[in-house]
Amino acid sequence: MADVEKAVATQLANIEKKTGKTLAQLHAALAKSGKTKHGEMRTWAMEKWGIGFGDANTLIHAAQAKPAPAGGDVLADIYTDKKAHLRPIHDKVMDAMKSWGEFEIAPKKGYVSLRRKKQFAMLGPKTNDRIELGLNLKDGIASKKIVAQKPGGMCQFIAPLSSPTDVDKEIVAALKRAFDAAG
């Protein structure tokens, strides 16, 4: 999936610009930090270089990178085995956004982060039976399908999706609001 790889490469290049250090220098500093857990490393990187959560998370993933899955398809790795049947839901959400304009797709361990100037959504499997679309919106959403979350989380709203038909006009409209607000 060349778009995902390109998005990660762009994000890593931007991290280099923000910090004034090469990836090799950043990775070496992380290795010398004495931190071993992902969350500890992320927090340390955020404090050390003044980068945001998403950038620090991507940097740590890159520093701890394992070989790419066969064919380099990150989504094939996320939607594998018992979660493979959920991929059409993911694809339908992504198809809904095709004409909206540019945005980054930043792969994480078990989901993708969708970003413009800031993250507007997260998308990935929550269980073997559903994926979750997390939305970042400051204003409320009056919906039975989209659930408000406790303050302080990465997303203010979550839409559980268990079928491509769940990606309806209401879900797409809320996603579009989050997209517009991030940009």
Q: What tens digit of pLDDT does each residue of 130-165 get?
A: 999 999 988 888 888 998 888 877 789 999 999 999
Task: Decide: pTM greater than 0.75.
Answer: no
Whether 115 and 178 have beta carbons less than 8 Å apart is answered as no
Q: What tens digit of pLDDT does each residue of 49-76 get?
A: 999 988 988 888 888 765 444 445 678 8
Task: Pull the structure tokens for residue 39.
Answer: 């969350």
Residue 47, Ramachandran bin (φ over 0: left; ψ between -120 and 50: alpha; else beta): alpha
Amino acid at position 83, single letter: K
Residue 139, Ramachandran bin (φ over 0: left; ψ between -120 and 50: alpha; else beta): beta
What's the maximum distance between 2 C-alpha atoms anywhere in the chain?
Answer: 49
